[in-house]
Amino acid sequence: MPRNNSFAAEEDAGAAKATAAEKAFIKKAADGGMTEVEMGQLAAEKGGSDAVKDFGSRMVKDHGKINDELKEVAGKLGVTVPTKISAKHEAAIKKMSALSGAAFDNAYVPDMVTDHKKDIAEFEAAQKTVKSEDLKEFIEHSLETMKDHLQKIEKFDQAPGHEKKS
């Protein structure tokens, strides 16, 4: 059965493999995505305004979906995504978890503005360098969601008391 074995080897050789830059991007994106979900859960629980609580819930849903999509793309490229948040992000989550109400909102909202701007810039830079079509599609789709999040959270940042305007 040498033919079957060589056929399997040819299939493996034809499988998409991530470049070092793609692997680094996937790992960083996974860490950031898991952090967004954790921070969103905190916002939904500890936020002082309904707007922040609603935004937190949306972050959990949207970034949870993005994280699932990233795992799928990473799997196609033979990359294992981290399952644990980095120590740096864990420290930020711990700091935020000590806050609640208006104090939480006043820390969370500007943090989300800064974080989303940084993430958008990193995703746009990666979009120009990645080779994988699947990863390019993931980045494009994720950018749409993150830009929408930024637009919404920037409105909170402008609103006194971060209240939702009717």
CB contact at 8 A, 27 and 82: yes
pLDDT in tens, 112-147: 999 999 999 999 999 999 999 999 999 999 999 999
Q: Is the pLDDT of residue 23 over 90?
A: yes
pTM above 0.95, yes or no: no
Helix, strand, coil abundance in the chain, percent, nearest 5: 80, 0, 15
**64: exposed, middle or buried (Cβ count in 10 Å: 0-12, 13-18, 19+):** middle
Q: Over the chain, what is the mean pLDDT?
A: 88
- What one-letter code names the amino acid at 66? I
pLDDT-derived band at 156, boundaries 50, 70, 90: confident
Mean pLDDT within 36-47? 97
Choice among 35-49, 62-76, 93-107, 148-162 with the minimum mean pLDDT:
148-162
User: Contact at 8 Å (CB) between 44 and 58?
Assistant: no
What pLDDT does residue 40 have?
Answer: 98
Cα distance between residue 89 and residue 115, in whole Å: 11
DSSP character string of 11-35: HHHHS----HHHHHHHHHHHHHHHH
